Amino acid sequence: MDYRLYTAEDFVLDEYFQQWVKGNSPGANAFWEAWMREHPQRVPAVLEAKRTLHALHFRSDDLAPERQLRMLNHIMGAVQAHEAAQRPAGRKPLRRLGTGVAYRVAAAVALLLAAGVVLWAYLYGPYRQMKYATGYGQTRTIALPDGSQVVLNANSELRHPAGWQPGDRQVWLQGEAFFKVRKRKLGRVPAPFTVHSGSLTVEVLGTEFTVTGRDDRTRVVLSEGSVRLAVPAAKGTATILMKPGELVDYQEANGAVDHRTVNAEVYHSWKSHRWVLEDVTLRQVADRIEETYGLPVHIPDPRLAREPMTGVLPTENLDKLLSVLSATYGIRVQRQEDRLTLTK
């Protein structure tokens, strides 16, 4: 996810940003300090969000659960009464935080955030959205409320409602992630797990798979178990049942679907900080570098761009990747501040 597009409110609601402010993650601290140095123009929004979170948090053991609930009911009633009194007849409720008294009331509600009683987004919808994002060159592992595990690739974002219902496990993905879904039941019936990526819907019972949704393409690669895809079609929605070792690539622009058997490990390898290359071109590798590390890659020679590549590239960091790319394939890498150039 591109944090450069975030407002102060977006930063406040971002779970990884919250970890940094709370001081719960050394990795988050290093990431955000470096990010601010690289994007000084965004520092005011970051500092505003940081000040807001400092004002909104208190220790969860300061209040018993019963008192938390009483405070929740009291504050929610006050907020609703205030909004009703301030809103002219016929006007719809505001969607964003305002200033003055309304802002202070909303801030008071959000004081319960650190206690595990999440209220802020209840002012705007039925659930607060949990959001997990990664920067360029970063991956992270996420434990979902049902015990399922997600490995989020670089430049990606995952969202889900904070309060999952037993039969409504849904997440929304932008970018790439590997899912290891834990089997759950509603009585005797398996509880579904759904991933939304673009206009594609992936329905799962218990399985391991990778979903990649970037630009106008969504790709699903199944490693274990089975999934059912709901794919937009000319007349309603088409259903595709996938077996282990299969890939489905859907292009939203023209509705084209590519369904074939592949080596699933090639598409999951990034979880182990490496790319397994199997009959890809240098241009395709360059595109992955752009997606993962955020640097445009220029290949002046069209023939070089089409050169096939097979092997393994380490992805712990960009410098190591480029060093191996150069030594193994005889590629000359010129790195400028804002882009890479590959030549022979």
Are residues 51 and 140 located together in one domain of the fold?
no
Enter the tokens of residue 132: 């997990």
Sequence letter at residue 22: K
**Which of 229 and 164 is assigned the larger pLDDT?**
229
Are residues 225 and 253 located together in one domain of the fold?
yes
Domain that holds residue 225: 131-266
Are residues 138 and 102 located together in one domain of the fold?
no
Are residues 136 and 123 located together in one domain of the fold?
no
Q: How confident is the model at residue 228 (pLDDT cuts 50, 70, 90)?
A: very high
Q: How confident is the model at residue 146 (pLDDT cuts 50, 70, 90)?
A: confident
Sequence letter at residue 237: T
- The count of other CB atoms within 10 Å of the CB of residue 55 is 12
Task: Report the CATH number at residue 231.
Answer: 2.60.120.1440
What is the reported pLDDT for 243? 92
Percent of the chain at pLDDT > 90 equals 45
Last residue of a domain, one of 113, 129, 145: 129
Q: pLDDT digit string (tens) for 84-106?
A: 555 555 544 444 444 444 444 44
Are residues 145 and 203 located together in one domain of the fold?
yes
Number of domains in the chain: 3
Are residues 196 and 220 located together in one domain of the fold?
yes
Enter the tokens of residue 213: 């949704």
Please determine, for residue 69, whether its predicted confidence score (pLDDT) is greater than 50. no
Are residues 336 and 286 located together in one domain of the fold?
yes
Last residue of a domain, one of 200, 235, 266: 266
Task: Report the CATH number at residue 296.
Answer: 3.55.50.30
Q: How confident is the model at residue 119 (pLDDT cuts 50, 70, 90)?
A: very low
Q: Lowest-pLDDT range, 12-26, 55-69, 80-94, 284-298? A: 55-69
Are residues 181 and 299 located together in one domain of the fold?
no
Q: Between the CA of residue 9 and those of 28, 45, 157, 336, 340, what are the distances in Å?
A: 18, 9, 16, 34, 34
Are residues 135 and 262 located together in one domain of the fold?
yes
Please determine, for residue 255, whether its predicted confidence score (pLDDT) is greater than 60. yes
The stretch 132-138 carries a mean pLDDT of 92
Are residues 327 and 244 located together in one domain of the fold?
no
Are residues 9 and 124 located together in one domain of the fold?
yes
Last residue of a domain, one of 222, 242, 266: 266
